[in-house]
Amino acid sequence: MKKIVFATIPMQVIEPQHYVSEENKAIEYDDKVRFPINAVLAKTLKKDDEVTVVRIVTECAAAAGNTKLQQEELDAINKNIGAKLSYTEVCAPYKETSDVVASRFRQIAGTFTQGAAILADMTYGPKTLTPVIFFALSFAEKFFDADITHIVYGKIIHNDKKKAVADTAELYDVTPLFYLNSLTSVMEAPDGKTALERLDKFFAI
């Protein structure tokens, strides 16, 4: 299967963590990882997968080292799986001006291929990157017939010295948020009250 993986690259030095998923044990990996998306790939990659790993890089001092660590970590995971992996980067400066945001979106959209399954990690990067990824994935679903299979976020509690607190790493599958956005985009209602009632029915399913 053709897959595209979006891996956000952190802007600081990070240490491996064991990410626990309360809601979705299917993506909970037994070992420690620096990059939450690699935990998901450890559980979901298949030998016949052809995977393009798109690292979304925010230019900073730690970027090159962390990009290298992401590939080393995933290559080690894949050693016993045997999927075909290729790597590329989407790079932008650490600025949130409209031209930089537009460039990120256009670069991400430029990596799409028809009919691919897409996985994405929203853990790292500037705050505007999360909506950019969501909008880009909507674009992929609409125009490239993409299957958005996993969108994840890794959370870690840090102490007052900005050090990760042991055993606090959690992995959240936020894919339902993407499909909620898709639902509200196509949902029709004559007024806000009716729209809220229909939304309540959706959540009750």
pTM: 0.91
Give the separation between CA 199 and CA 182, rounded to whole angstroms: 12
Alpha-helical runs (H) found in 26-128: 36-44, 63-78, 98-109
The CATH number linked to 117 is 3.40.50
Structural domain includes residue 196: no
Structural domain includes residue 162: yes
Structural domain includes residue 160: yes
Number of domain units in the chain: 1
Give the separation between CA 85 and CA 38, rounded to whole angstroms: 13
Q: 136-149 b/e with 16+ CB inside 10 Å = b?
A: bbbebbeebebebe
- Structural contact between residues 117 and 150, judged by C-beta atoms closer than 8 angstroms: no
pLDDT tens for the 205 residues of the chain, in order = 999 999 999 999 899 999 999 989 999 999 999 999 999 999 999 999 999 999 999 999 999 999 999 999 999 999 999 999 999 999 999 999 999 999 999 999 999 999 999 999 999 999 999 999 999 999 999 999 999 999 999 999 888 877 888 889 999 999 988 888 777 777 888 999 888 988 888 777 6
Give the separation between CA 27 and CA 41, rounded to whole angstroms: 8
Structure tokens given for 35: 């990059």
